[in-house]
Amino acid sequence: MTGQNMQVVIVGGSLSGLIHAIVFQSLGHDVHVLERSPAESLHSQAAGLSAGPDVQKFINEYIKPKQLYAKTAGAVEVIDVEGGVINPIPSKDPYHFTTWSLLYNLFKSHFLAGDVAKAKYKTQKWVQEVKTDGDKLVVIYADTASDAQHELRADLVIAADGAHSAVRESVIPGISPQYTGFVTWRGAVPAAAVSEASRKALEGRMLMFRTDNGYTVSYNVPSDSGNLAPDDSQFIWVWYHKIDQNSQEFIDTFTDSSGKKHSTTVPRGKVDPEVWAKRQSSGAALSVPFAELIKKTTDPFVSAIRESSAPQTVAYDGKLLLVGDAFSLFRPHTGSSTNQTARQALELAEVFRGQKTLDEWQASSLGYARMTGAISKAFGEYCFTGQIPQSLAAAIKPEQQAK
Ligand SMILES: Cc1cc2nc3c(=O)[nH]c(=O)nc-3n(C[C@H](O)[C@H](O)[C@H](O)COP(=O)(O)OP(=O)(O)OC[C@H]3O[C@@H](n4cnc5c(N)ncnc54)[C@H](O)[C@@H]3O)c2cc1C
């Protein structure tokens, strides 16, 4: 798999699609990204994002940005209702927090700054099917603006089409992401809109507060345009909340303001104002800085959290590769999803430079997904309950354990 000047088609133009596009572009191949959504609608469900060590490595090696792209925090600090720290959970390396939109714009502009004949990013292109034709793959897609059908021939197809991947379904049917029993409400508030007292509590920190039925976290990120100055930064909050998926609360939460039902996310601007007003009123009982953030949020969005994992990442004799959420979708407690895809891309570069085999890449992807899926689940249990599950206890030093 070290062919020269391959035609690479990437299905999905979110972070996995762009990260892999940049890697294959740098290897000298022609790269064509097909993204289903219009560009503007992508940002309607974007908020803060943890940039783990492999995301940082990818950015340092491939993008080399002139400016910092993330704010850091050294620990997760669990706080009580008055904002006092109950226990800090230190991290070996600082957490890097940024935003989905900042990374998306950074990656997309880097990719499109390359040779225009070799780097294409097209929106409103909905891939329907991938099939074999001799030693090539054929990608069949619809232009959602005109309804016209098109096809592209490829030497390599990267399926980066997310958790509900149609490409994965066509080669490994039946992997449907399962509801984990909780939802996340999310929002962002500009630092300039927050009181001095709350800013002091929130700036440069990652806070966690437990509720009866879930927990909240907050962290400080740059503006979407990449400004890190405290006044221009924003505070991201996430409220994890358990809901039975057969309950009326679940049905109401995922029915938007126009009456349309959503299975995974009700995006910004579509949340039913009555549902949000109820959540905001429960928010008044949270620890002070969280109560203020939730009160001041005007455009929240809510997602039903699901998880899934495919048993393989390689299909069609190595011509089709599954990456990112299309391969394995984690619970979000450890913020590892983007790290997974950056790690896969960095290792794929080694495969296509002839330093590693595709079998080794697949084994490494599967091992990472197994381990990270288990850690995310166990850390989530700790976040919800304050009790350290057996599976996590072994990995935590006694002095870091919760009081
Ligand atoms: C718009 C958006 C905003 C997000 N914001 C955040 C955030 O703020 N914080 C966070 O932690 N995570 C966020 N995520 C999730 C995060 O991007 C992923 O968990 C992680 O980066 C792995 O990304 P992915 O590219 O594998 O999957 P995804 O980010 O889910 O991307 C999959 C992409 O494939 C496209 N697609 C799906 N089916 C097809 C098809 N048949 N043909 C063509 N294209 C298709 C989708 O439109 C989507 O753009 C967001 C995802 C999206 C899509």
- Structural domain contains residue 118: yes
Assign residue 295 the CATH number of its domain: 3.30.9.60
Residue 341 shares a structural domain with residue 228: no
Ligand 1 in contact with 209 (CB < 6 A)? no
Q: Where are the strands (E) in 164-221, listed by range?
A: 178-190, 206-211, 214-221
Shared domain for 89 and 228, answered yes or no, is yes
Q: Is the pLDDT of residue 391 over 80?
A: no
Buried-exposed string 127-144: b where 16+ CB fall within 10 A, e elsewhere: beebeeeeebbbbebbee
For residues 86 and 189, state if they share a domain: yes
Distance (Å) from CA 338 to ligand 1 centroid? 10
Q: Is the pLDDT of residue 396 over 90?
A: no
Q: What is the mean pLDDT of the chain?
A: 94
327-360 pLDDT, tens digit each: 999 999 999 999 999 999 999 999 999 999 999 9
Pocket flag, ligand 1, residue 126 (CB < 6 Å): yes
The answer on 125 and 20 residing in a single domain is: yes
Clarify whether residues 363 and 269 are in a common domain: no
Looking at 305, 333, 357, the residue that finishes a domain is: 305
159 and 87 in a common domain: no
- Statement to judge: residues 202 and 284 lie in one domain: yes
The complex's ipTM works out to 0.97
The answer to whether residue 253 is domain-embedded is yes
d(CA 102, CA 180): 28
Residue 195: which residues within 8 A CB-CB, separation 6 or more?
Answer: 292
- Using CA positions, which residue lies closest to atom 53 of ligand 1? 14
Instruction: Tell me, yes or no, whether 197 and 109 share the same domain.
Output: no
pLDDT computed for residue 227 by the predictor: 92
User: Facing residues of 75 across strands?
Assistant: 90
Query: Of all residues in the chain, what percent carry a pLDDT higher than 90?
Result: 89
pLDDT over 90 at 400, yes or no:
no
227 shares its domain with 112:
no
Give residue 389's pLDDT: 85
CATH number, domain at 16?
A: 3.50.50.60
Q: Is 333 inside a domain boundary? A: yes
Tell me the C-alpha to C-alpha distance, in Å, between residue 322 and each of 165, 182, 225, 313. Answer: 9, 26, 31, 5
Domain termination residue (choose one: 288, 305, 322)? 305
Range of the domain at 229: 62-99+178-305
Instruction: Please tell me the total count of domains within the chain.
Output: 2
Instruction: Give the nearest ligand 1 atom to 18 CA.
Output: 25
Asked if 78 and 186 sit in the same domain, the reply is yes
Does residue 272 line the site of ligand 1, with CB under 6 A?
no
* Domain boundary pick from 262, 278, 305: 305
Which ligand 1 atom is at minimum distance from the Cα of 99?
8
Mean pLDDT for the stretch of residues 219-227: 94
- Helical H runs in 242-357? 248-253, 273-283, 288-295, 337-352
Site to substitute for ligand 1 among 9, 11, 14, 234, most atoms within 8 A of C-beta: 14
CB of 46 within 6 A of ligand 1: the answer is yes
Q: Does the residue 170 lie in any domain? A: yes
Q: 376 CB under 6 A from ligand 1? A: no
For residues 373 and 180, give the distance between their C-alpha atoms in angstroms, rounded to a whole number.
Answer: 12
d(CA 301, CA 282): 16
Window from 33-42, 190-199, 283-292 with minimum mean pLDDT: 33-42
- Has residue 369 been placed in a domain? yes
Q: How many CB atoms lie under 10 A from the CB of residue 258?
A: 7
pLDDT digits (tens, 9 = 90+) for 121-160: 999 999 999 999 999 999 999 999 999 999 999 999 999 9
226 inside domain: yes
Q: Tell how far the Cα of 312 is from the centroid of ligand 1, in angstroms.
A: 20
* pLDDT above 80 (res 251): yes
Q: Does 397 score more than 70 pLDDT?
A: no
Whether residues 108 and 80 share a domain: the answer is no
Q: Are residues 85 and 224 in the same domain?
A: yes
What pLDDT, in 10s, does the model give residues 93-107?
A: 999 999 999 999 999
Query: Among 23, 37, 100, which is best to mutate for testing ligand 1, by the most ligand atoms less than 8 A from CB?
Result: 100
Answer whether residue 55 is part of any domain.
no
Whether residue 399 lies inside any domain: the answer is no
